[in-house]
């Protein structure tokens, strides 16, 4: 196990859980990377939609950003309340499930799960895509780079929440520091220039007007810009990852994340306007991202530019980490209500929910591979899941406050109600604006996931009803089993099996398939070799039953005979003793027949509750 | 099972073996296709080597063919004797093994096995290659066609020896009839023409002389021509497939095959000479096979030409069938001496040695796929294996006659001795002439195969020594087992397991891994629910043992505790009772933990002979 230890760290005892918890400093990279990195693509997405309006489009970016910031503020206050109300972790699923019931809960869970998986795939390939536009020589390795980063994220997260937070701290704060200072510098320059602003590197001229402004295009730009808000819900879901005082630390982390995000969004919108920076056509040779133009305009193309650009690339790649922190917690919460396999709730060697991490890695790996590492087309699908989850969570909080029936909660209820309405409206806008581009997939996928989760729950419910503990153990009608030992020929292996059979019961039957010489000698040896010694020792004499098999089948005649015995002896358990040769080397598998395994499987599948399999091992040295 | 029945035919009872046997009419297609089809490439191979000699080369083809025919006659008489001496099936392996010992036997077996596998790959791709040179549109489907034919051959052979013989009868006799009549016609024409021979379609003019004749080139032509003799040994190996009188039928079949082959070889050599037909450069645009030129010269390009050519294509494809008839028998013979897994000796539902058929299909399928369906380069490897096997077989027969020490066998001994010398000399020539072209692979592969076979035998020998039957069953020290039941919580499943445990022994221990609430309630319920009822019923009270697991591992603490129990109770068997949920649907596998299976595997692997696993099934309905 030392290799595993090296890769994943030593196992952590359950009692060490407390010391694994994190504060706001590590909480921002752990739960905030998704939200913060979206500053890099949210404004860009909105401006791209405004492209046909030419320079006129820039006039809309400030109002659209303001609307998004207002929405963000509403969502922020709602989630602050959620964190206080659910200090055990109040993701959309938990809140919606507890207050609005199974359907609402699973709707939130399915939407969020879709969002998280997409986020990993899109985040990693966006980062790698940006890297490749900087170093085109890496182009042929796109898929390999994506999967490599995915593997890295998987391993780091398997090492535990704390470690992931620490590892990703440096790039996160580099990103925040460089972007915030560039924005500050830019704002200072514009204010100081007194209207005669000279960009260090002039952004490309904007395209001429191709379309008149319409409400529809503004709504679509808003819907696209809303991708800037994905990832905001992560903190409230992961409250339990914070150290005491849990609620304060979680709230502080959320505040930091939202504050930075608002500064970035407003700053970018302002600078884009004053520097006349517009989106360039994605995929064209002239393509240059908004942030690249903006940083160039403010700071020129020196060292600062490259530091800022590389921190953006890194944060894009690592934004997938938020999914890794949250998806396993979501699955755990759902699994604890039996809507997903219970194994999602097992904490692995490093106290994280290992199975969720693996499932996330595999699903997003499959998506990345299917799209060859270029997942641009998936970006529109994003916001639907996130906003659906926001809405369910806010609506759940409204129901939560209503249940309390206290005057002093009316304010809280109002905030959450406003949040629910605003995010619900956004869901509608996003679905309408993005339906053809791919939002229809989410509209199909979410109900399908919900159906699966309900099916899992039904299975567990049926299971629970059937296995529910009897008051006490019943000792009525306990009889020693009828023991059956298939015997091919007389060896030490069959002797060991028969000896064990004799310790279980006085009724032992040796089954043998007729097979020429072997049968003859077995019949001859049986009385003196087995029957008489057993009788002399005061044990029941094992009976030799020879079965004919005209078609040379070996397994089916034994199965049939055992089933017949089970039928004839309605009050007894039939124990089938199978000598099993233990292969310690893989190639030995081919040298011995595997009939025992097949026989056991068939007996268990075809048997009717009273057949029990006993494996008596035999070792070759 | 009806699908299997449709594909492979109903199962045949062992008692039907006699009626599955074949006579010479079906024996020729079953065991002769390899030998007969080689008339299509043996002369061609020799003439290709003679290409640099130009028209002068034709002068050597008659002597070379005569030498091959003499060799063939010697081999024929030797195998006639082998058939009589080994009516139970006297392949090279059997004869060499019985008379010369393990090394010689396995040398023959390894050589022959190599030859058979190559024969399937080369035969099928040669046939498909010829088909494609007739219909170039099929070129992109080369690999698919090869694998399709392989699948067809596999299925037909799984249906039984008799069926394969019947299915392939028509193409075989069409091939023989058309070639023999064309040769007869050609010979009549040359005799009747009185020296002024006019070919119906003139063969292409021969290349000018590029090289002087040398012994080396003639030897190489002879070595290449010897591929015409591969497949001759098949009949002697498959004697048991013939109906009574076994020896006579097998000999008659061999006689028919060899006679036709000699007629074909001599006829082709004669006609090639009189019609001035030379080989054309393989792979060049002007390439045309010798037989195509010859048939064209004799019969023109009418219907007869196309019938003859298509029968040649078919027979080339189906020549692989000889391998399918013989390889499984060879493996069976080797397996019966424990040099290969014993399962090769099991007769399947249609009385054929199923495992050998599958192994042959898979190995040749892998080779075909690796070479993309074009296996020309493998042709040189062929003859080495075949002639090595001939030599071992003849040498074995010499030893066989020597042992008899009777005067009247001196003649037989002489024939076999001559055969051994002649084929041994051929082996040397073939290896030298073809070493660089690929014979070195066979020289490496054969000893490797032998090493594997010896290793298998050593394993079985060790196995046999260790498991050899004790005189009689020992009833000393038989005690009821110490029973261990891992219990997660108190359900009907654990109750069933515990009830069964109580029927086995008075010493039952329930093992539980500490786990919060569950542990608490289990501890509370135990005395009233389990201990007291069991004691009241006069059974031993099951003891509840709670194991701590700080790292949340579930399996290892149980394994460790059971191993400790095994160590402490040196005189007792430890029976671990594992409740097993039987999943009747594949997806249920993901809904329940598979710890039971892992636990059983670890206990059996780490245990020391006294741990026994009891699977108590639980069914969900």
Tokens of A604: 């268990």
Predicted local distance difference test score (pLDDT) of residue A590: 73
A58 φ/ψ angles, rounded to the nearest 5 degrees: -60, -25
Could you tell me if A473 lies within 8 Å of chain B, comparing CB atoms? yes
Q: What is the CA radius of gyration of chain A?
A: 33
Beta strand B611-619 with A611-619: parallel, antiparallel or unpaired?
A: antiparallel
Could you tell me if B454 lies within 8 Å of chain A, comparing CB atoms? no
Predicted local distance difference test score (pLDDT) of residue A41: 81
Mean pLDDT of A128-157: 85
Determine whether the interchain pair A13/B551 forms a contact, defined as Cβ–Cβ distance below 8 Å.
Answer: yes
Tokens of B476: 């000393």
Tokens of A511: 């089954």
Tokens of B247: 């020896």
Residue identified by tokens 């704390």 is A162
Do A517 and A553 form a contact (C-beta atoms < 8 A)? no
Helix (H) or strand (E) holding A486: strand A482-486
Q: List b or e across A322-339, with b for residues whose CB sees 16 or more CB atoms inside 10 angstroms.
A: bbbbbbbbbbbbbbebbb
Could you tell me if A615 lies within 8 Å of chain B, comparing CB atoms? yes
Question: What CATH number belongs to A19-461?
Answer: 1.20.1740.10
| Helix B320-336 / helix B24-37 crossing angle, nearest 10 deg | 110
- Domain B2-13+40-404+413-462 fold is Amino acid/polyamine transporter I (1.20.1740)
Could you tell me if B612 lies within 8 Å of chain A, comparing CB atoms? yes
Domain with CATH 3.40.50.620 in chain B: 482-619
Do B356 and B328 form a contact (C-beta atoms < 8 A)? yes
Model-wide pTM > 0.90: no
Do B163 and B156 form a contact (C-beta atoms < 8 A)? yes
Q: Which residues of B touch A474 (CB under 8 A)?
A: 495, 499, 533
End-to-end CA distance of chain B: 25
Predicted local distance difference test score (pLDDT) of residue B283: 66
Q: How confident is the model at residue B358 (pLDDT cuts 50, 70, 90)?
A: very high
Could you tell me if B284 lies within 8 Å of chain A, comparing CB atoms? no
Determine whether the interchain pair A533/B500 forms a contact, defined as Cβ–Cβ distance below 8 Å.
Answer: no
- Residues 475-494 in A contacting B (C-alpha not used; CB under 8 Å): 475, 478-481, 489-494
Determine whether the interchain pair A491/B468 forms a contact, defined as Cβ–Cβ distance below 8 Å.
Answer: yes
Say whether the peptide bond before residue B245 is cis (omega within 30 degrees of 0).
yes
Of B414, B406, B41, B55, which is closest to residue B229 (Cα–Cα)? B41
Say whether the peptide bond before residue A245 is cis (omega within 30 degrees of 0).
yes
Could you tell me if B574 lies within 8 Å of chain A, comparing CB atoms? no
Which segments within A226-342 are labelled E, that is strand? none
Predicted local distance difference test score (pLDDT) of residue B601: 87
Could you tell me if B349 lies within 8 Å of chain A, comparing CB atoms? yes
Q: How confident is the model at residue B2 (pLDDT cuts 50, 70, 90)?
A: low
Q: Is the pLDDT of residue B1 over 70?
A: no
How far is CA B539 from its chain centroid? 58
In eight-state DSSP terms, residue B10 is: S
Q: What CA–CA distance (Å, rounded) separates A438 from A297?
A: 35
Q: What CA–CA distance (Å, rounded) separates A420 from A388?
A: 10
Of B316, B334, B317, B315, which is closest to residue B326 (Cα–Cα)? B334
Of B601, B564, B566, B575, which is closest to residue B486 (Cα–Cα)? B575
CB atoms within 10 A of CB A99: 21
Domain with CATH 1.20.1740.10 in chain A: 19-461
| Chain B, nearest residue to A616 by Cα | B612
pLDDT tens digits, one per residue of A417-430: 988 998 898 889 88
Could you tell me if A527 lies within 8 Å of chain B, comparing CB atoms? no
Q: Which residues of A touch B552 (CB under 8 A)?
A: 14, 346-349
Could you tell me if B580 lies within 8 Å of chain A, comparing CB atoms? yes
Secondary structure string (H, E, C) spanning B253-282: HHHHHHHHHHHHHHHHHHHHHHCCCCCCCC
Of A177, A38, A148, A611, which is closest to residue A373 (Cα–Cα)? A148
Mean pLDDT of chain A: 87
Determine whether the interchain pair A529/B341 forms a contact, defined as Cβ–Cβ distance below 8 Å.
Answer: no
Q: Which CATH architecture has domain A482-619?
A: 3-Layer(aba) Sandwich (3.40)
Do B533 and A476 form a contact (C-beta atoms < 8 A)? no
CB atoms within 10 A of CB B568: 10
Q: Is the pLDDT of residue A249 over 90?
A: yes
A407-416, A519-528, B142-151: which range is least confident on average?
A407-416
Q: What CA–CA distance (Å, rounded) separates B187 from B199?
A: 12
Q: What CA–CA distance (Å, rounded) separates B403 from B252?
A: 27
pLDDT tens digits, one per residue of B271-295: 999 998 888 877 677 778 888 889 9
In eight-state DSSP terms, residue B343 is: G
Coil, strand or helix at B139: helix
Cα dihedral B488, B493, B497, B503 in deg (nearest 10): 140
Could you tell me if A565 lies within 8 Å of chain B, comparing CB atoms? no
Could you tell me if A529 lies within 8 Å of chain B, comparing CB atoms? yes
* A contact test, residue of B469, B479, B521, B532 with most A CBs within 10 A: B469
Q: How many helices (H) and strands (E) does chain B have?
A: 24, 5
Q: Which residues of A touch B335 (CB under 8 A)?
A: none
Mean pLDDT of B531-560: 89
Q: How many helices (H) and strands (E) does chain A have?
A: 24, 5
Q: How many residues does chain B have?
A: 621
Which stretches of A473-516 are DSSP H helices? 492-504
Beta strand B508-513 with B482-486: parallel, antiparallel or unpaired?
A: parallel
A469-483, B254-268, B320-334: which range is least confident on average?
A469-483
Mean pLDDT of B436-444: 82
Predicted local distance difference test score (pLDDT) of residue A384: 85
| Chain A, nearest residue to B460 by Cα | A591
Determine whether the interchain pair B504/A502 forms a contact, defined as Cβ–Cβ distance below 8 Å.
Answer: no
Could you tell me if A541 lies within 8 Å of chain B, comparing CB atoms? no
Mean pLDDT of A70-92: 88
Could you tell me if B19 lies within 8 Å of chain A, comparing CB atoms? no
Q: Which residues of B touch A619 (CB under 8 A)?
A: 609
Determine whether the interchain pair A463/B529 forms a contact, defined as Cβ–Cβ distance below 8 Å.
Answer: no
Of A437, A407, A530, which is closest to residue A227 (Cα–Cα)? A437
Do B360 and B120 form a contact (C-beta atoms < 8 A)? yes
Of A478, A233, A463, A145, which is closest to residue B619 (Cα–Cα)? A463
CA atoms within 13 A on the CB side of A262: 16
Helix (H) or strand (E) holding B615: strand B611-619
Strand order across the beta sheet in which B543-547 lies: A543-547, A508-513, A482-486, A574-582, A611-619, B611-619, B574-582, B482-486, B508-513, B543-547
Q: What angle do CA A512, A517, A520 make, to 5 degrees?
A: 60
Task: Tell me how close the Cα of A97 comes to any Cα of chain B, in angstroms.
Answer: 22
Q: How confident is the model at residue A2 (pLDDT cuts 50, 70, 90)?
A: low
Determine whether the interchain pair A550/B15 forms a contact, defined as Cβ–Cβ distance below 8 Å.
Answer: yes
Mean pLDDT of chain B: 87
Q: How confident is the model at residue A283 (pLDDT cuts 50, 70, 90)?
A: low
- Residues 380-439 in A contacting B (C-alpha not used; CB under 8 Å): none
CA atoms within 13 A on the CB side of B353: 25
Could you tell me if B591 lies within 8 Å of chain A, comparing CB atoms? yes
| Chain B, nearest residue to A585 by Cα | B605
Coil, strand or helix at A470: coil
| Chain B, nearest residue to A537 by Cα | B475
Which segments within A514-559 are labelled E, that is strand? 543-547
Q: Is the pLDDT of residue A412 over 90?
A: no
Could you tell me if A14 lies within 8 Å of chain B, comparing CB atoms? yes
Of B425, B428, B399, B429, which is closest to residue B412 (Cα–Cα)? B399
Could you tell me if B335 lies within 8 Å of chain A, comparing CB atoms? no
Q: What CA–CA distance (Å, rounded) separates A40 from B63?
A: 86
A199: Cβ contacts below 8 Å, ≥ 6 apart: A275, A296, A297, A298
Q: Which residues of B touch A502 (CB under 8 A)?
A: 475, 478
Determine whether the interchain pair B534/A475 forms a contact, defined as Cβ–Cβ distance below 8 Å.
Answer: yes
Residue among A346, A480, A530 whose CB faces B503 most closely: A480
pLDDT tens digits, one per residue of B457-475: 999 998 888 888 777 888 8
| Chain B, nearest residue to A469 by Cα | B491
End-to-end CA distance of chain A: 25
* pLDDT over 90 percentage in chain A: 34
């Amino acid at each position: 196990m030392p290799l595993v230890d090296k890769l994943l760290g030593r196992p952590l005892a359950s009692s060490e859980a407390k010391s694994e918890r994190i504060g706001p400093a590590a909480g921002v990279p752990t739960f905030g990377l998704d939200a913060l990195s979206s500053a890099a693509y949210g404004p860009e997405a909105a401006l791209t939609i405004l492209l046909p309006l030419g320079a006129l489009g820039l006039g809309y970016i400030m109002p659209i950003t303001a609307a998004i910031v207002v929405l963000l503020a509403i969502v922020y206050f709602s989630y602050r309340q959620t964190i206080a109300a659910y200090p055990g972790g109040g993701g959309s699923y938990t809140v919606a499930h507890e207050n609005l019931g199974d359907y609402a809960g699973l709707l939130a869970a399915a939407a969020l799960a879709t969002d998280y998986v997409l986020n990993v795939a899109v985040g990693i390939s966006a980062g790698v895509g940006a890297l490749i536009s900087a170093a085109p020589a890496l182009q042929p390795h796109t898929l390999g780079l994506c999967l490599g980063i995915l593997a890295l994220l998987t391993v780091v997260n398997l090492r535990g929440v704390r470690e992931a937070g620490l590892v990703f701290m440096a790039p996160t704060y580099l990103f925040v520091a460089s972007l915030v200072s560039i924005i500050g510098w830019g704002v200072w320059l514009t204010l100081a220039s007194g209207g005669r602003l000279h960009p260090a590197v002039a952004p490309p001229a904007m395209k001429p007007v191709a379309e008149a402004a319409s409400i529809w295009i503004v709504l679509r730009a808003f819907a696209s810009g809303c991708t800037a808000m994905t990832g905001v819900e992560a903190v409230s879901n992961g409250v339990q990852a914070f150290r005491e005082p849990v609620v304060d630390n979680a709230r502080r982390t959320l505040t930091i994340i939202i504050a930075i995000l608002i500064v970035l969004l407003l700053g970018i919108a302002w600078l884009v306007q004053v520097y006349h920076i517009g989106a360039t056509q994605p995929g064209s040779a002239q393509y240059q991202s908004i942030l690249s133009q903006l940083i160039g305009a403010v700071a020129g193309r020196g060292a600062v530019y490259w530091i800022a650009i590389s921190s953006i690339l890194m944060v894009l790649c690592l934004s997938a980490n938020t999914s890794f922190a949250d998806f396993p917690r979501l699955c755990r919460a759902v699994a604890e209500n039996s809507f997903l396999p219970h194994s999602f709730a097992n904490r692995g060697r490093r106290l994280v929910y290992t199975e969720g991490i693996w499932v996330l890695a595999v699903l997003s790996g499959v998506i990345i591979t299917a799209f060859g590492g270029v997942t641009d087309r998936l970006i529109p699908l994003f916001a639907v899941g996130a906003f659906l989850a926001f809405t369910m969570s806010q609506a759940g909080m409204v129901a939560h406050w209503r249940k309390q029936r206290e005057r002093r909660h009316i304010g809280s209820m109002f905030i959450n109600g406003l949040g629910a309405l605003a995010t619900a409206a956004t869901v509608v806008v996003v679905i309408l604006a993005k339906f053809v581009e791919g939002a229809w997939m989410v509209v199909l996928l979410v109900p399908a996931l919900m159906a699966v989760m309900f099916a899992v729950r039904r299975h567990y419910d049926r299971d629970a009803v059937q296995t529910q503990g009897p008051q006490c153990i019943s000792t009525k009608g306990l009889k020693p089993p009828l023991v059956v030992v298939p015997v091919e020929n007389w060896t030490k292996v069959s002797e060991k099996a028969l000896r064990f059979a004799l310790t279980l019961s006085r009724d032992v039957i040796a089954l043998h398939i007729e097979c020429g010489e072997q049968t003859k000698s077995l019949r001859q040896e049986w009385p003196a070799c087995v029957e008489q010694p057993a009788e002399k020792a005061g044990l029941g004499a094992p009976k030799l039953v020879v079965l004919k098999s005209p078609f040379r089948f070996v397994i089916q005649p034994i199965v049939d005979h055992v089933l017949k015995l089970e039928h004839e002896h309605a009050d007894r358990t039939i124990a089938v003793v199978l000598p099993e040769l233990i292969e310690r080397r893989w190639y030995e598998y081919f040298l011995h027949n595997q009939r025992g395994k097949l026989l056991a499987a068939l007996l268990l599948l075809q048997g009717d509750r009273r057949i029990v399999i006993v494996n008596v091992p035999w070792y070759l040295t």
